[in-house]
Amino acid sequence: MEEEIYVEIDSDEGEEPDSAWFEAVVRDVLKAEAVGPPYEMSVILTNQDRVHMMNRRYRNVDAPTDVISFYTEDLSPQAPLFALPDDGVRRLGDVVISFPQAVEQAGEQGHSVTRELTLLIIHGVLHLLGYDHELPEDATRMRGREQVLMKEFEGHHYN
């Protein structure tokens, strides 16, 4: 297996990009972060209720949100150990995006929905790669990297 990027579009708003679009964005983020195959991860585009439920259930935050990341390989010392196949494949995890929230935020920011989705994918994938924003210095590092990648991706077919 070289790379596996699974995309589930569980939204029927009518404006959603297709699976290939999501795969291209993810591939470019991983390449920019020097993550090469073999790897696997998924992107799920869904509705606000599903993301809200996940936020409540897995983060104990009873509020809507735009993106949630679930990483498979947590290398921190306090992480529980999971039995993963010893096949050399990095199992990065899942990025779940609320499409209605992305549409709303794009309108608020005055840019395209695809630009907002690109930012949310970048944000979610960076989480899978160990970036965080809980502490101010971590937030500065993560936001800075998001800005660099958004600038780098300007003019790409998906932005």
For the chain, what are the domain ranges? Answer: 3-153
The predicted-structure confidence for 98-116, as pLDDT tens digits, reads as follows 999 999 999 999 999 999 9
Is pLDDT of 117 > 80?
A: yes
Domain 3-153 annotated CATH 3.40.390.30:
yes
* Closest to 6 measured CA to CA, from 44, 54, 46, 34: 44
- Sign of the C-alpha dihedral, residues 99, 104, 105, 110? positive
For residue 35, the model assigns a pLDDT of 92
Q: Which residues pair with 95 in a beta bridge?
A: 43, 69
Where would I find the beta strands (DSSP E) of 11-122? Answer: 39-46, 67-71, 90-98
- Length of the chain counted residue by residue: 159
* pTM tops 0.85: yes
